Structures are given as C-alpha cells and as structure tokens.
Amino acid sequence: MKKLILTAFTSIIATVTYSQILAPVKWSYGAKKIDKEQAVVFIKASIDKGWHIYSQHVADGGPVKTSFRFNKSDDYSLNGNTSEPKAVNKYEKAFGMNVQYFEQSVIFQQKVKLKNGQTSVNGTLNYMVCNDKQCLPPKDVEFSIPVK
C-alpha cells in the first residue's frame, strides 16, 4: 500500500512539474495621442533573463521574426510601418546566420491616423522566443490598445 501511495504521489509531482508552461515574455501596451488626428501605440515585450525575441527584420531561413497584424478599422489607419529600436546583431549557430534580436525588453511603436477622436487599435502579434538551449514554438498574441 505504501508503494502504491508513493508511486501515485511521484506521478502527480512529475505531471505537475512537466506541465509547467514556460512564458518568458510578457506583453504590455499603451498609446499616446500626438494631436486630434494622430497617435502612437506602444507594444512592449518584457523578456526574462537569458531569453530573447527576434527583430521584425530577420532574413529568410532564420528564426521566426516578430510581426504585427493590425485589424482594419473605420476609426483609424496605419501611418507607416511598425518601428523598433536597434537590435543586437549576432551569429547564431542554430540558424547558421547573423540574426537581430532583443533581450530584457523592447518597445515597438506604430503611428496611426485617427478618423474619430477615440478608438481601440486591435490586432495580433506573432513572435518566437529562444535562449541558448532551446526555442519555444512561435506564438500569436491578440491585443487591444485603447487610444483616448
């Protein structure tokens, strides 16, 4: 009976430990109105130590680059492309090429033209996160950013 209880307990602990999901990136959002007709939305990635996400500007054949898809709206239109700060540029053996990535945190910015005074900028971002031992599968994250 003791063996049965010990085996069951060990199985439960192993299952709980194995099923913990890694989430090394946390996303947050904000917006700032420039005037009645323009705003900038901010999309921030806070990245756990030892991990990194990739730039929007990674060459084909490399890791999955961070990308943004903004939903069409009658309330706003995009003004240019999503901008990002200067990324780390480093050779990664896993991909056999130089890649651009961000560590710790990065803020992406998108300018929008407002057709009404207030709106919510909605969309989906896609990214992949890696450390020096593994890459997690690419992930989609939906966002809704109020602009007031």
Give me the chain's average pLDDT, please: 89
21 pLDDT band, cuts 50/70/90, is confident
**Residue-level pLDDT at 94:** 87
The mean pLDDT of 123-138, rounded to a whole number, is 97
- For the stretch 4-17, pLDDT in tens is 444 444 444 443 44
**Environment class of 134 (CB within 10 Å of its CB; exposed 0-12, middle 13-18, buried 19+):** exposed
CB 105 within 8 A of CB 87: no
Domains and CATH numbers, the chain: 25-147 (2.60.40.1250)
pLDDT above 70: residue 38: yes
Confidence of residue 18 (pLDDT cuts 50, 70, 90): very low
49-85 pLDDT, tens per residue? 999 999 999 999 999 999 999 999 999 999 999 999 9
CA pair distance 19, 36, nearest whole angstrom: 48
Q: Please give the order of strands across the beta sheet that includes 25-35.
A: 25-35, 38-47, 105-114, 76-83
Residue 2 is encoded by which pair of tokens? 């003791």
pLDDT value of residue 78: 98
pLDDT at residue number 117: 81
Average pLDDT over residues 107-135: 96
Query: What contacts 133, CB < 8 A, 6 or more positions away?
Result: none
Please give the Cα distance from 148 to 79 (Å, whole number): 18
Tell me if 147 sits within 8 A of 41, measured CB to CB: yes
